[in-house]
Amino acid sequence: MASNICTRLEIAIFMVGFVCAKLVLPMCGNISEVFEYNWAPNHIISQGDQIKLTLDNVSGCGFESKKKYLFGQASVQIKLIEGDSAGTVTAFYMASEGPVHDELDFEFLGNVSGEPYLVQTNIYVNGTGNREQRHTLWFDPTLDFHTYSFFWNRHLIVFLVDGIPIRVFTNKEDKGLLFPRQQAMSIRGSVWNADDWATQGGKVKINWTNAPFFSTFRSFIIDARELLPETDDIMAQCGKLGRFWWDKPAFVVLNRHRSHQLKWARRKHLVYDYCKDKARFTELPRECIS
């Protein structure tokens, strides 16, 4: 059976927690047409419409979209490593290339059995990250598939879990701060050994007797502007403001309901915020105080 991913179908959905809108969403196509297995392909199993990533004591693995995108939405459903996953990281992220790359991260930090997963989000702009937040989840992400999404336009970046915003990164270029809007990014997934830092600061290592470890990805949705390699003219390709649905006024800020959801997620589930880590920074980053 051929693996599947969305391409285009108009339907009405409650999109990324902003408003109900008629949008262009994917219809089934072949996963191999959209993604390439660029790291340890012998550790990747394609099963129907699913991609299963394997980590063992030899290697992790990963995949990447063949195309790059600038603004829009990318979503996937993931079922994370079951049982004792300490020291492992499963990642769903977007990234450009090079030392001054932009990047948006979901990193799922494994834990010992009975202890909760942490989801770490991070944002790189022109090669600089160090913008980590960590949240617990309000469900067990190993029992079933859950949806993780990036929404990205010229105004803000939203990280969503099952349609609930857990983080918003706002464009503050008017205050002299950088925002990732010049580099197209590919969509990627991976699983890897990070036991030098992922669980309790690296105190708990991977128990390799539990290997191999599996994380499974399915139901990809990519509704974003593909950036062609033939030109570097961003405006020529993306056009005037308002051309795409994500440029509409309704998507400039979260609505009141979603703002309440964000506050709930922060109040109940945020366990680390770089903007509050005075021990880490002699001077807090400017975006934290602007």
CA atoms within 13 A on the CB side of 186: 17
Among residues 79, 13, 80, 40, the alpha carbon closest in space to that of 221 is found at: 13
In angstroms, the CA 141 to CA 128 distance is 29
As to burial, measured by CB atoms within 10 angstroms (0-12 exposed, 13-18 middle, 19+ buried), residue 171 is middle
> How far is Cα 7 from Cα 23, in angstroms, rounded to an integer?
12
Distances (CA, A) of 225 to 25, 156, 234: 12, 16, 11
Structure tokens at 219: 């139901």
Phi and psi at 266, nearest 5°, equal -70, -45
Q: Is 132 labeled as catalytic in the residue annotation? A: no
Ramachandran quadrant class, 15 (left: phi over 0; alpha: psi -120 to 50; beta: rest) = beta
Reply yes or no on whether 103 is catalytic: yes
CB 226 within 8 A of CB 128: no
- Active-site option among 33, 36, 103, 230: 103
Q: For residue 251, which of 73, 102, 26, 94 has the smallest C-alpha distance?
A: 73
Local structure of 284: helix, strand or coil: coil
Q: Which residues pair with 34 in a beta bridge?
A: none
Catalytic residue among 36, 107, 173, 283: 107
Instruction: Report helix, strand or coil for 146.
Output: strand
Q: Which helix (H) or strand (E) holds 116?
A: none
Catalytic residues: 103, 107
